[in-house]
Amino acid sequence: MSKQQKYLLAIDQGTTSSRAVIYNEKLQPLAQQGKEFKQHFPNNGWVEHDPEDIWETTLHSCREAIKEAEIEASALGGIGITNQRETTLLWDRKNGEVLHKAIVWQDRRTADYCQQLKDKDLEPFFQKRTGLLLDPYFSGTKLAWLLDNVEGARERAEDGELCFGTVDSYLLWRFTKGKVHATDASNASRTLMMNLETREWDGELLEKLNIPASLLPEIRDNTSDFGYTDKEWLGAEVPICAMVGDQQGALIGQACIEAGMLKSTYGTGCFALLNTGQDIIRSDNRLLSTLAYQLDGEAYYALEGSIFMAGAIIQWLRDSLGMLEEAAESEALAEDIGYEQSEIMVPAFTGLGAPYWDPDARAAILGMTRDTSREHLAAAALRSVAYQSLDLVHAMHNDGQKVEALRVDGGMTENDWFLQALADITGCPIERAAISEATSFGAAFLAGLQSGMFKKLSDISELHKVDKTFKPEISSEQRDKLRSVWLAAIDKVR
């Protein structure tokens, strides 16, 4: 990296939008651009993205951010890519043509296939090898579905003509014009195909899922020389220095780099990751063991609780019920609704994630009366995210992990009322990060680590700042009472 190359570009390709942020050497954001794209729901429980939308919105955001920062792409010392995880793509190795829309992490189409594998008693095997469970959430069964349902795909895959990738790999392929087919260990750990201990593709897992190895990208460290963007895209060849799954990106962006530190990101879904250091902690409470980050070949792990609906519930109030113009209005609406409210929402719109893993559960609002108003529904919606977080904290406690505080980020954390409810209901102090984009902050930091702008992982601790802490204000008796009502509601939807 030359002296002139003093900026970093972080690309955050998320579920609902693609974003690009330019950072300076002190990791201060100089420019930020983003673009939403269409969600496709072609069937009950199916969610797809058009790969061209993923690419176009990403490229557009990068170009606009570079313009806004008033720099040339040649001044970029490196790019860090962070992305929605598990979302599955399949394309032609020669011409890059995609065979199908991307199957999104939220998509439930492989629920029956997962059940068939469970009926063969294979879940303990998958769990041991991958740290994951047999749920449609992960990429492996989505890829198997593509091979079985797209005409000719299996034959072409067996002939070595096709490439599989999660969004990181796909963007890398597009940016390098097909020169590099690689992924990073954090993204690979979400596929059901990577052995969590060796961090290599596992032949036995591939055999059980009937997936040809020739499809798979090379697995690398999170920081690596991933290749250069073709000049056509940004006007200069820029090195891609880091790739990381978005939740692992936020773990780094929140400086949770010591065992025992936890971050929880509230975007479309909510993902709580507890750093467990170099040990793989095996959950007895249906949490996931996953790769946190891999640097210089050394792996660090996390225990993860994944919730499928968080900010997406507020989107539902806004877009499907027309109850809000903007997500932010939910805060003023909920403001006067106390814990005596009788309404309780279980947001199992796409089944339930951790710790229930029930793809067939469906959402409900219980305890409504003639007095139930928009205000009550907004409060019940926001509190439902806090109750789901409480389930995760409990599961972590039961796995012997002490949760001292939650470092939070993501779109929903702009809502102070929600964060106070989160503190009350979980009983944990909630620390909101000063930068709302912890995900891209983490990706940019990793890119800076690879390009030499930063020296060591622990440099992130000095860069991370807390904006505000929310402390629990209700008694533990009241918390226990609220939890028992929540658990009764969960029982009703299962």
Ligand X SMILES: Nc1ncnc2c1ncn2[C@@H]1O[C@H](COP(=O)(O)OP(=O)(O)O)[C@@H](O)[C@H]1O
State the binding partner of 86 from ligand G3P, ligand X, none, CB within 5 to 8 A by kind: ligand G3P
Q: Is 130 in the site for ligand G3P (CB under 6 A)?
A: no
- 197 contacts 35 by C-beta, under 8 angstroms: no
* CB closer to ligand X out of 196 and 270: 270
**Nearest CB to ligand X, comparing residues 331 and 358:** 331
Under the binding rule (CB under 6 A), the answer on residue 411 touching ligand G3P is no
Look at residue 85 and give the partner it binds from ligand X, ligand G3P, none, a contact being a CB closer than 5 to 8 Å depending on partner kind.
ligand G3P
Could you tell me the smallest distance in angstroms from the CB atom of residue 190 to ligand G3P? 7
**104 near ligand X (CB under 6 A):** no
Question: In 278-416, which ranges are E strands?
Answer: 288-295, 298-307, 344-346, 364-366, 406-409
| Interface with ligand X (CB under 6 A), residue from 185, 243, 386, 412 | 412
x-or-dash pattern for ligand G3P, window 255-284, by CB under 6 A? Answer: ------------xxx-x-------------
Which residues 55-74 are close enough to bind ligand G3P by CB under 6 A?
Answer: none
Instruction: Give the shortest CB-267-to-ligand G3P separation in angstroms.
Output: 4
Q: Which is nearer to ligand X, 141 or 384 (CB)?
A: 384
Q: How far apart are CB 15 and ligand G3P at their closest, in Å?
A: 3
222 near 295, Cβ under 8 Å?
yes
> Which range touches ligand X (CB under 6 A), out of 308-316, 349-357, 445-453, 461-469?
308-316
Contact 21, 92 (CB under 8 A): no
Separation of alpha carbons 473 and 427, rounded Å: 8
Please identify which residue in 37, 91, 105, 173 interacts with ligand G3P, judged by CB under 6 A: 105
- Structural contact between residues 292 and 301, judged by C-beta atoms closer than 8 angstroms: yes
User: How many Å apart are CA 292 and CA 277, to the nearest integer?
Assistant: 9
| Cβ-contact 57, 17 below 8 angstroms | yes
Cα angle, residue 36 at apex, residues 30 and 40 outer, rounded to 5°: 155
Note whether 245 and 14 are within 8 A (CB): no
Q: Which does 168 bind (CB under 5 to 8 A by kind): ligand X, ligand G3P, none?
A: none
Paired sense of beta strands 218-220 and 182-184, if any: parallel
Q: In this chain, which stretch among 2-10, 79-87, 118-126, 168-176 interacts with ligand G3P, using CB under 6 A?
A: 79-87
Quote the least distance from Cβ 203 to ligand G3P, whole Å. Answer: 25
> Which is nearer to ligand G3P, 86 or 343 (by Cβ)?
86
What are φ and ψ of residue 439, in 5° steps?
-60, -55
Stretch that binds ligand G3P, among 18-26, 84-92, 253-261, 394-402 (CB under 6 A): 84-92
The reply on whether position 15 binds ligand X by CB under 6 A is yes
Closest to 166 (Cα-Cα) out of 266, 244, 222: 244
Residues 6 or more apart from 155 whose CB is under 8 A from it? none
Rounded alpha-carbon distances, angstroms, from residue 427 to 275, 419, 473:
20, 12, 8
Interacting residues of 198 by C-beta distance below 8 A, sequence separation 6+:
none
Residue 415 in the binding site for ligand X (CB under 6 A): yes
User: 210-269: which residues touch ligand X (CB under 6 A)?
Assistant: 267-268
Residue 414 interacting with ligand X (CB under 6 A): yes
Task: Tell me how far, at minimum, the Cβ of 262 lies from ligand G3P, in Å.
Answer: 17
Q: Which is nearer to ligand X, 315 or 341 (CB)?
A: 315
- Whole-angstrom CA distances from 214 to 331, 357, 416 are 50, 31, 49
Give how far the C-alpha of residue 190 lies from the chain's centroid of Cα atoms, to the nearest Å: 10
Q: Which of 211, 184, 167 has the alpha carbon at shortest distance from 55?
A: 167
Nearer CB in complex with ligand G3P: 93/318: 318
Q: Which is nearer to ligand X, 23 or 113 (CB)?
A: 23
| Tokens found for residue 120 | 């063969």
| Angstrom distance (rounded) from CA 381 to CA 364 | 11
Of these partners, ligand X, ligand G3P, none, which one is at the site of residue 61 (CB under 5 to 8 Å by kind)?
none
Between 77 and 411, name the residue whose CB sits nearer to ligand X: 411
Q: Which does 414 bind (CB under 5 to 8 A by kind): ligand X, ligand G3P, none?
A: ligand X
Q: On the CB side of 174, how many CA atoms lie within 13 Å of its CA?
A: 23
Cα–Cα distance, 49 to 161 (Å, whole number): 23
Residue 440 engages ligand G3P in binding (rule: CB under 6 A): no
Does position 451 interact with ligand G3P (CB under 6 A)? The reply is no
Report 318-347 residues binding ligand X (CB under 6 A): 327-328, 330-331
- Short-list 82, 138, 131, 149, CA closest to 107: 138
Interface positions with ligand G3P (CB under 6 A):
14-15, 84-86, 105, 245-247, 267-269, 271
